[in-house]
Amino acid sequence: MQQISNMTTEQQNVDTKYIDQMSTKEILIAMNNEDKTVPDVVKKAIPQIEEFTDAVVVSMKKGGHLFYVGAGTSGRLGVLDASEIPPTYSAPVTLVQGIMCGGLSALVTAVEGAEDDYDAGYAIVAERGLTENDCLLGITTSGSAAYVHAALKHAKKIGATTGLLVCNNFEKTPDIDILIQAVVGPEVVTGSTRMKAGTATKLILNMITTTAMIKLNKTYGNLMVDLMTTNKKLWDRGARIIRHCSGTDYNHAMETLKKSEGSVKTALVMVLLDIDADEARKRLAVYNGALRKVLDEEGKTLNL
């Protein structure tokens, strides 16, 4: 493992060396210019992101889960991504789990030395009940967090698929099945990896889980047909999706959505096939929730 002082995210950015003498506008432009480089860095890592994502899909189809384990900003982004999956895709809260080094309190307050606690990282894998059907992605910008590497080691030992996401050059170890590197280079403020490294991490986590949900039949086209109607905004969005896709009026869409107990996918089958909620659920279950396959069987399509 390379010395922290040699990591690119710890190097001084020559383009922002005198940032404290810039105007507000100049600072913002400098930051924006640096941020523009991140998508191209992520693009270079797509083959490895693809490999890990495919492993996640296989895992989930076998009843497995995706675990993120990270420290600092990396850990917080993992928890954020995991927490957004249930409401967006009506997925179980256990399907994607974010493990924050230092515990939940570390989400809002730094816990000193937590990322160096190897024993705690090793123990968390057993505490969360990982099995060989699961995937674990360690997230550490520097690649140096002992907590994360301990979790990877334990997960690999029990047969889970392991991945590591870093934002520096890193040499793959035997505990890592898939290494994802997004080398973003020096930060605007030296060593402040909540910036470009954080942006790259957010992009990659979004890519992994969104692609996995699409592959698990959670969308129709690019429409969120499996969202969880947990508030007025989402009930409205659900009704609008039904109206748009089926051509029915808004009131009928909302009425059907209520009969389906808030399931947009079920409501769409009800409207398109003119059946009740129980029958619609049965049809979807036959195809593991694949709305397109249910409709194809009856020669029906949705407006996109």
Nearest residue to 190 via CA among 2, 15, 1: 15
Is 139 in a helix, a strand, or coil? strand
Tally Cβ neighbours within 10 Å of residue 186.
Answer: 19
Please classify residue 261 by burial: count the beta carbons closer than 10 Å to its beta carbon, then call 0-12 exposed, 13-18 middle and 19+ buried: exposed
User: Residue 164: beta bridge partners?
Assistant: 138, 179
CA 114 – CA 75 distance, rounded (Å): 12
Dihedrals phi, psi of 203, to nearest 5 degrees: -60, -45
Let me know: does 114 contact 101? Beta carbons within 8 Å. yes
Catalytic (active-site) positions? 84, 115
In b/e form, how buried is each residue of 167-176, taking b as 16+ CB within 10 angstroms?
Answer: bbebeeeebb
Let me know: does 16 contact 191? Beta carbons within 8 Å. no
DSSP E strands: which ranges in the chain? 66-70, 96-100, 135-139, 161-166, 178-181
Let me know: does 70 contact 99? Beta carbons within 8 Å. yes
CA 25 – CA 28 distance, rounded (Å): 5
Is 20 in a helix, a strand, or coil? helix
